[in-house]
Chain A
Amino acid sequence: MKILLLDAPYSGSVELCKETIAYLKKKKYQKVALYASVQFVNKLDAVKKQLADNKFTAITSLADRADVKGQLLGCDNYHDSLHLEKQDFDCYLYIGDGKFHPLALVYAQKGRPEAKEVVCDDPLAKKMSLITIDDIKAILRKYRASLMKFLAAKTVGVIITIKPGQEQFRPAAALEKRFPEKNFYYFIDNVVSFDQLENFNFIEVWVNTACPRVGFDDQEKFRRGVINLNDAFLAEETLGKESVMNKI
């Protein structure tokens, strides 16, 4: 079977709204890390020019899972997804609508001592909004509790979705070597069937290996708690360091 992917790019022109420019100036930001969803990424050159005209510097990068530079996917929410660790900048600037994509930039900062804010410019609504670590405080509190639960648990459920772009069975199986004192049970699904979780009442806590956003955005659907696979391996280290997640 052949597969054709179509971006469905935004048809209009993109120009930062006055509110965004005014906010960046008010905060005395000089350098922004610029990203957009795939629908807007081909308009970033115009945004860069507008930023330069207003004496701002824009940097960007090719994120781990994205296909083009400056594109942001919701799953590029790991601490090193954007490869900006050695870059100095004042804030993120996201071009697009909705909160799903820019929230990835906030989740990616959960392990850092301080979090930068995400300034969002919506070309459809022609409005600016902010997303900060405060927007995910409740989720991070639950996530931290789930990390603690995982470390204490004896019986852990590992969720694996079978679509080729998602399936992570072998990396998940490495949990057994890392945590020989725990019993891991593997649950296979096409998409995560949240309504089935409670039927497996012997599971103390879940490890998600599907989209990493499931571990955060769907935290409330897991009554016994859920963490993402990468954080399972790093649980002790993550809980032990000074980070925005551990401060809230």
Chain B
Amino acid sequence: MKLYNPEVEKAIAKIKEVKAKIICIQLPDGMKPAAKEITDKIEAETGAKVLIWLGSNFGACDIPLGLDRIGVDMLISWGHNRFHKKAGGW
């Protein structure tokens, strides 16, 4: 957590801006131990409910599916920036 800036303030500002109520946080393996700290902070400062994605976070290509079915308004995925998919197999 100290080596990499988790930018939680940026996440909180965005949650407030879009008025999200249910958040899913997706962390790379190295940041998963910080899930409690991030969850507690987001819930305390925004009042939103945070769900922690248990599974993989291989990259921005690996966005979880089906979250909207349980009412998730916003996914926050750490460790990656925008991914430019190449169509055509490679």
The B interface, classified by DSSP as helix, strand, loop or mixed, is loop
Which of A5, A166, A228 lies in contact with B81, CB distance below 8 A?
A5
Whether B4 and A164, one on each chain, are in contact in the complex, defined by CB atoms closer than 8 angstroms, is no
**Residue A60 interfacial (CB < 8 Å):** no
B binding-site residues for A, Cβ under 8 Å: 2-7, 10-11, 14, 18, 20, 28, 31, 55-56, 58-65, 67-68, 72-90
A2–B89 Cα gap in the complex (Å)?
Answer: 27
The A interface, classified by DSSP as helix, strand, loop or mixed, is loop
With A12-B3, A172-B89, A233-B89: A6-B83 Cβ-Cβ less than 8 Å: no
Q: Hey, which chain B residues are within 8 Å of A212, CB to CB? A: 90
Whether B81 and A67, one on each chain, are in contact in the complex, defined by CB atoms closer than 8 angstroms, is yes
Considering residues A2, A7, A66, which has the most beta carbons from chain B within 10 angstroms of its beta carbon?
A2
Whether B87 and A2, one on each chain, are in contact in the complex, defined by CB atoms closer than 8 angstroms, is no
**Residue A39 interfacial (CB < 8 Å):** yes
Whether B63 and A164, one on each chain, are in contact in the complex, defined by CB atoms closer than 8 angstroms, is yes
Report the number of A-B residue pairs with Cβ-Cβ less than 8 Å: 125
A124–B2 Cα gap in the complex (Å)?
Answer: 12
**Residue A216 interfacial (CB < 8 Å):** no
A43–B28 Cα gap in the complex (Å)?
Answer: 21
Whether A6 and B10, one on each chain, are in contact in the complex, defined by CB atoms closer than 8 angstroms, is yes
**Residue A3 interfacial (CB < 8 Å):** yes
Which of A6, A9, A66, A162 lies in contact with B65, CB distance below 8 A?
A162
Quote the shortest CB–CB distance from A23 to chain B (angstroms).
Answer: 24
With A166-B62, A230-B90: A67-B84 Cβ-Cβ less than 8 Å: yes
Which of B68, B80, B85 lies in contact with A5, CB distance below 8 A?
B80
Whether B83 and A65, one on each chain, are in contact in the complex, defined by CB atoms closer than 8 angstroms, is yes
Q: List 6 contacting pairs A-B, 8 Å CB cutoff, sorted by A.
A: A2-B74, A4-B77, A7-B79, A8-B31, A164-B85, A165-B83
Identify which of residues 1-55 in chain A touch chain B, using a CB-to-CB cut-off of 8 Å.
1-12, 38-39
A211 closest partner in B (C-beta) = B58
Whether B86 and A65, one on each chain, are in contact in the complex, defined by CB atoms closer than 8 angstroms, is yes
